[in-house]
Amino acid sequence: QKEVEQDPGPLSVPEGAIVSLNCTYSNSAFQYFMWYRQYSRKGPELLMYTYSSGNKEDGRFTAQVDKSSKYISLFIRDSQPSDSATYLCAMSEGGGSNYKLTFGKGTLLTVNP
C-alpha cells in the first residue's frame, strides 16, 4: 500500500460545479496536510495548509482533514475554467528530520465553460 493514495482522474466538471478532491494515507504520524495546484509546465502553488484534523476555508476552497479516517479532502465551490489544473495533496510528519513531503500522484481537473 502506498503511503498516499490519490485518484489521478481525469475529472471533468461544468463551470459552477462543486468539486471534491480526496486523498487517503496510511502513515498515522502525518500531522501537516497541504493541497497544491499545478498548472501545466509550472511549479506547484500552495493552496491550502492545515495542521492536524479539522476544516479550513479560504474563499472558494475548503480543506478538511480527518485523521481518524486518514482522509483529507479539498472542496472547490463555484468552480471556474481557471481552476483547471492538477491538484496534488501532500503531507508530512513535521519537525526534526521528518520534514519531507509525501505527495499524492495528483488529480487532473478540467472545468468546462
Query: Look-up: residue for cell 502553488?
Result: 45
Minimum distance between the CB of residue 16 and other proteins, rounded to whole angstroms? 27
Minimum distance between the CB of residue 10 and other proteins, rounded to whole angstroms? 10
Minimum distance between the CB of residue 102 and other proteins, rounded to whole angstroms? 9
Q: Which is nearer to other proteins, 17 or 110 (CB)?
A: 110
Minimum distance between the CB of residue 95 and other proteins, rounded to whole angstroms? 4
Rounded Cα distance, 83 and 110, in Å: 7
Q: Which is nearer to other proteins, 40 or 82 (CB)?
A: 40
Under 8 Å CB-to-CB from 58, ≥6 apart: which residues?
A: 47, 48
Rounded Cα distance, 10 and 102, in Å: 21
Q: Which is nearer to other proteins, 28 or 78 (CB)?
A: 28
Query: Please, what is the Cα angle at 56 between 55 and 62, to 5 degrees?
Result: 95
Residues that bind other proteins (CB under 8 A): 31-32, 34, 36, 41-46, 49, 88, 90, 92-96, 98-101, 103-106
For residues 10 and 112, the answer to whether their CB atoms sit within 8 Å is: no
